[in-house]
Amino acid sequence: MISTANITMQFGAKPLFENVSIKFGNGHRYGLIGANGCGKSTFMKILGGDLEPSSGQVMVESGARLGKLRQDQFAYENERVIDTVIMGNAELAQVAAERERIYALPEMSEEDGMAVADLEVRFAELDGYTAEARAGELLLGLGIPLEQHSGPMSEVAPGWKLRVLLAQALFADPDVLLLDEPTNHLDINTIRWLEGVLTARNSTMIIISHDRHFLNSVCTHMADLDYGEIKLFPGNYDDYMTAATAARERQHADNAKKKAQIAELQQFVSRFSANASKAKQATSRARQIDKIKLEEIKPSSRVSPLSASSRRARSTATRSMWRGSPRATPARRRCSSASA
């Protein structure tokens, strides 16, 4: 569905990651994990087309629609909240805007009439007549009260704007969905709602999150970015940790056996290398030692997702949604009471 071929990203002398070739697809939901600063968000921006790699390319399957959680939360200040969500479907938003423009003309020409007829057909095909209702359901699920859906984005406080942008990404219902920290600024109940929405969909998803419970609930695979490489593991985060720990233990065990073998061979070489009758055997043992290669085991640069970091992110959900309004409306109080 979406893949990379030899992606390298260079900042200064040392590459952030190098020659990464990987494929994401089949409706799997991948948790992209790695240490802070390892390049997760950079890799996500490359996948989403927001950043050009130093070399390599990204391929999206022909006809596949790509959607992403945008981080530019001040880009829609002059738009209504509900319209910002609908913009997640770019074609629908474009058709609706052109349709409204023609209907707003003081006088419609024959050409305008033919154009708007075609637009009406496409508008219906894109479920335009239910767009506001569907967008409203997503906003309500993310804690945005109904009375604010027609208000401007400029009145939405930072943090809550990101909820609107998350609704926008979900509204698109794309074939490939990129989500960078989707649980930021969400309370625990809203996170559980989001888990249900994501697991009910068939999109291929790539998700960055520090919420371990969220990764366990949503992800079918883990993509571990470590030392400039990405390795895929089937299962959720706990499954990954079990597999990664077992693999590392096997590496240590194999190295221990090799070290014991080297020690035994070296003992023979040291004992008989000066013995004329066994010099040939000692030389053979020395060659065997040279052929034994210990596997390099690097300490992982990754830090496990911490529930504490998730709680810190969720705590921001108790902030007032609307600037200059210290008192919450009943709807807003309901949202805040769910904060972890």
For 140-189, how does the pLDDT look when each residue is reduced to its tens digit (9 = 90+)? 999 999 989 999 999 998 889 999 999 999 999 999 999 999 999 899 99
CA distances from 29 to 26, 137, 178, 189, 338 (A): 9, 23, 10, 21, 27
User: Could you give the number of structural domains in the chain?
Assistant: 1
Q: How confident is the model at residue 279 (pLDDT cuts 50, 70, 90)?
A: confident
pLDDT at 330: 34
Q: What percent of the chain has pLDDT over 90?
A: 62
- For 299, the 3-state DSSP assignment is coil
Residue 160 included in any domain: no
Residue 270 included in any domain: yes
Give rounded-to-5 percent helix, strand, coil for the chain: 50, 20, 35
pLDDT per position as a tens digit, 50-99: 999 999 999 999 999 999 999 998 999 999 999 999 999 999 999 999 99
Whole-model pTM over 0.85 = no
Round to whole Å and give the CA distance between 208 and 196: 17
Given a cut of 60, is residue 328 above it in pLDDT?
A: no
pLDDT at 228: 84
Given a cut of 90, is residue 101 above it in pLDDT?
A: yes
Residue 58 included in any domain: no
Round to whole Å and give the CA distance between 164 and 143: 10
Among 256, 258, 280, smallest CA distance to 268 is for 280
227 bridge partner residues: none
Q: How confident is the model at residue 338 (pLDDT cuts 50, 70, 90)?
A: very low
Residue 283 included in any domain: yes
Residue 86 included in any domain: no
Q: Say which residue, 159 or 314, is predicted with more confidence.
A: 159
Residue 252 included in any domain: yes
Round to whole Å and give the CA distance between 166 and 205: 14
CA distances from 223 to 32, 66, 103, 111, 260 (A): 5, 19, 49, 52, 34
CA atoms within 13 A on the CB side of 247: 13
pLDDT at 272: 83
Q: How confident is the model at residue 327 (pLDDT cuts 50, 70, 90)?
A: very low
Which residue, chain included where needed, has tokens 């609107």? 164
What is the domain range of residue 246? 240-291
